[in-house]
Amino acid sequence: MTRQAPAAPRRLDFATELTRWEYAAAPETTRVEIAPRYGHFIGGEFAAPAGGGGHFASINPATEQPLCEVAQGSDADVDAAVRAARDALPAWAGLPAKERAKYIYRIARRIQERARELAVLETMDGGKPIRESRDVDIPLAAAHFFYHAGWADKLEFAFPGTRTAGTPVPPVRPVGVCGQIIPWNFPLLMAAWKLAPALACGNTCVLKPAETTPLTALRLAEICVEVGLPRGVVNVVTGDGRTGAAIVNHPGIDKIAFTGSTEVGKKIAAAVAGTGKRLTLELGGKSPNIIFEDASIDQAVEGIVEGIYFNQGHVCCAGSRLFVQESVLEEVVEKLRIRMASLRVGDPLDKNTDVGAINSKQQLATIRRYVEAGVAEGARLHEVNGHPLPDRGYWCRPSFFTGVQPSHVIAREEIFGPVLAVMSFRTPEEAITRANNTPYGLAAGVWTDKGSKIFEIARRLKAGVVWLNTYNKFDPASPFGGFKESGFGREGGLQGLRGYVRI
């Protein structure tokens, strides 16, 4: 019997895992299902792409099925978004700071209210386990908006170095229109990292989410409408690298904030040089995780797992280089092997899953190339997790290499996947030297029960963030960013506000 189709397209709820509109005016055997389409969010409204940009599919990496189609941003779309942001700037910057704070606070509250929907959507679009989306990504995104709402009316007191005795405090003014380009590993959280401080300081924004994970950014645009945010203050233009390049090169942009690969960050820095645009870059990393013989080994093993297998290793500050003191190397490797065998790999929507799907087919191919390179260079690959993988989707077993030399490609280059390179050291001096022997400088971890050693090692590590007897812990009040090829500038905390104000 043929089912009756609705007379018009029906919007279905992502939170129930239904992701299609049905169009039907024919028997079921010929009925066609078409994924819903999203346009850009410009000037407070969703708009179809201009200039023939068209649409592309956003794929669920755990099933390889399309979730929906999103617009490919063109130069015309970016120009429209920048003009909308420019038009909204005077009123938003001129709004009393306490009123700006109220809008930002409402966004945070609405994220909390829609947390279940956002967590499911984040997991379906990106492949990360629902437990991580539910317990980490969404709560932290709300926390960043809450935190920066509190800063909005305190900016004049935030930078005491600008005051001179006997003179009034200079005004703190917004930078202007901010172009913000975010990656696919933490889509909603990265949007919060970018938007919250910019809005608190009175700027307007043009946000471009990654092409593989645009959906929670578009949901955030809906939230901006729900809380009554003035039109044009936040604009979202979806698309691939061409859209990002259009934002970087647009003359109406006053600041670029980019999180992504070092390779792209270098190109953006070259494009922005000489234009007068502000720039902050949060780029790649090859972060060391150092375990001393006097550490609590069981605790450290949990830190290793959190450092490299969290979010399938799709973390710029992942502890991908493990340095273990020789006297405890065998113990650490054996306990790591046992712990990894217990990790559940599979359906990201299962709350018991530990390691979900790799974000895209392209990223999976990249990870596999690095694994093959590690084996070819003579390192020993350990894939101790024997759980069967699903038949469809992009999957990679968590693994680690032993017998790794500093010259090996897996010890030098960012893999951005659940692959760990294990190396040893004898003395603290050797550990510091080997940890700093990298073009990156984003993060590091130190594990020891001796407090004096912790702070001495941390002081000498060339990293923007150093975790002590823990790993991958974040807080909106704590600045995050790196040195060397890991970028410059900070996000979060008082230091993160500095890039969004003129003094």
Q: Note the CATH number of domain 69-282+484-502.
A: 3.40.605.10
| Two domains, one topology: 69-282+484-502 and 288-468 | no
| Least confident window among 140-149, 155-164, 373-382 | 155-164
Q: How far apart are CA 300 and CA 30, in angstroms?
A: 57
30: which DSSP letter?
Answer: G
More confident residue, 475 or 26: 475
Could you tell me if 105 and 146 are in contact, meaning their C-beta atoms sit under 8 angstroms apart? yes
Which stretches of 265-327 are assigned E, i.e. beta strand? 278-282, 288-291, 321-325
Mean pLDDT of 444-469: 95
Per-residue pLDDT at 160: 67
Q: Active-site positions?
A: 282, 316
Per-residue pLDDT at 17: 32
Per-residue pLDDT at 20: 30
Task: Convert 2-14 to b/e letters by CB count within 10 Å (16 or more is b).
Answer: eeeeeeeeeeeeb
Q: How far apart are CA 289 and CA 280, in angstroms?
A: 26
Percentage of the chain modeled with pLDDT above 90: 87
Q: Note the CATH number of domain 288-468.
A: 3.40.309.10
Per-residue pLDDT band for 202 (boundaries 50, 70, 90) equals very high
Tens digit of pLDDT for each residue in 43-87?
999 999 997 779 999 999 999 999 999 999 999 999 999 999 999
Per-residue pLDDT band for 31 (boundaries 50, 70, 90) equals very low
Q: How far apart are CA 289 and CA 319, in angstroms?
A: 5
Tens digit of pLDDT for each residue in 116-146?
999 999 999 999 999 999 999 999 999 999 9
3-class DSSP assignment, residue 339: helix
pLDDT of residue 310 exceeding 50, the answer is yes
Per-residue pLDDT at 163: 56
Per-residue pLDDT at 169: 58
Q: How far apart are CA 71 and CA 77, in angstroms?
A: 10
345: which DSSP letter?
Answer: B
Q: How far apart are CA 153 and CA 155, in angstroms?
A: 6
Domains of the chain: which residue ranges? 69-282+484-502, 288-468
Radius of gyration of the chain (CA): 23
Per-residue pLDDT at 172: 85
64: left (phi over 0), alpha (psi -120 to 50) or beta: left
379: which DSSP letter?
Answer: P
Which residues pair with residue 281 across a beta bridge?
258, 488
C-alpha count within 13 angstroms, C-beta hemisphere, residue 63: 14
Per-residue pLDDT band for 387 (boundaries 50, 70, 90) equals confident
